[in-house]
Structure 1
């Protein structure tokens, strides 16, 4: 299917679709790095039932990709083939429930869940104040900060599989490990139910304020960045390894390693996605050469490069500015 055919054909085969389906949507506008190509088609479902209907009727050979708020994401310059699904208002509710629980749709920003818990006097979720992005990404990557992780507070989650079936997953079903869950990649997480503990709202808000102050002081949160770039190796800090490899301030094109925090890459001079990925791979190569440690990307990279351009380790440069 061509770009124009895809969204029209999908709409024709799904007459009861209620969400928004658009063709050739520029993804740079909705990612924090502000780089990358277009989605062949972008679908924003109305709610979980609409998402299930879409997936049940979507051709099985059509690539389907899910994105959230775009905080921990690098979309390559050639864009994303097939359908990109972005959950919106139908997945943006957050409520406090009896028993010190918080229920949130996966489009809810992490910080909003922290605030809802604080307002309800529910402790245990303040660490979400320090995590950019949405609950969907937090579930998928077992997001954590300041000594806590998603696995510590999740009670259960809901997901829709590629055939449109809805699943309820326990904490154990999620298969959590460091910055990872084992939920099938083609399942779309739609809701989370968190289990907190009784707390004092004022004390929780103070904890959140301390988290916010730490981020502002130590991380380039006002820059165009994707958050932490590399996972911390066991017993080590990625930022320290990057710094010791001489990569603080390292630049490739319009992308630079943050001088404030070496585990952040920033787009400070109209970078392309290739600039950012090339910089990341160059940092990985230099860290491997200096310490023997092979850093793993925490940022998710999606899509294709421009025609004839490489991706991944082939991008690493021996000499850069």
Structure 2
């Protein structure tokens, strides 16, 4: 009788303890345990794609006829950034109670996740580029240049230096031809070699500076401003600045400027000027005034030294 009761109790306990496989797993319980463990797994950040940029510069000189450039190969490569979370163990030392009321060092460690990224090659693109410049007129010193760049699948043209506003049409996809049509004229920088030193001298109490203009005919009807800075030579690098003056002329093949020290702006008194050998030189430059070129100042070299 006692044995029968024990058997019944055993089966009752076993029945209450059996697992119901049809009910599935309690995932909520597992997630709570993961959070309570102190380990947080961040979601990986999506990688960023980038493309290499390949550019070619096309330059054009003055010509009244249509010009077609050489064909240039351009290549671009895609790089894909991939990121992953990697577990890293970080440890630090803390002091904990030890025997006999002492403090002893103890190392505590925990796991953190750090993101590690790398790049891998992706797609690649190849294109040819060419520019056809329709007939337009440039001044003798003007030079134009354009950049064509391939970045990923995108092929674009950019102005580097131009004497006109241009409209551009595109022909072809793999072999691309950009056709440029000149619209409105745009002033470019003045030719740095347009004016040249001719002479610098001193006579009858005056300094005389002369310059020549290579483009006098092209600038007919416009003006040029020449700036002359006078210096007195000193010992080693200690030269004395005596003053400056601007001279304005109608465009011509040659320019002559005569002046005394008193004619200069910001001229120094004789007592303030650097004393020593009576040698002088000039630094000079010019700028165009009108519609043909920009009015950028062109700095030229200094003249040979002369004796007063």
TM class by shorter chain equals under 0.3
Structure showing the higher strand proportion among its residues: 2
**Larger Rg computed on CA atoms:** 2
TM-score, structure 1 normalization = 0.19
TM-score, structure 2 normalization = 0.20
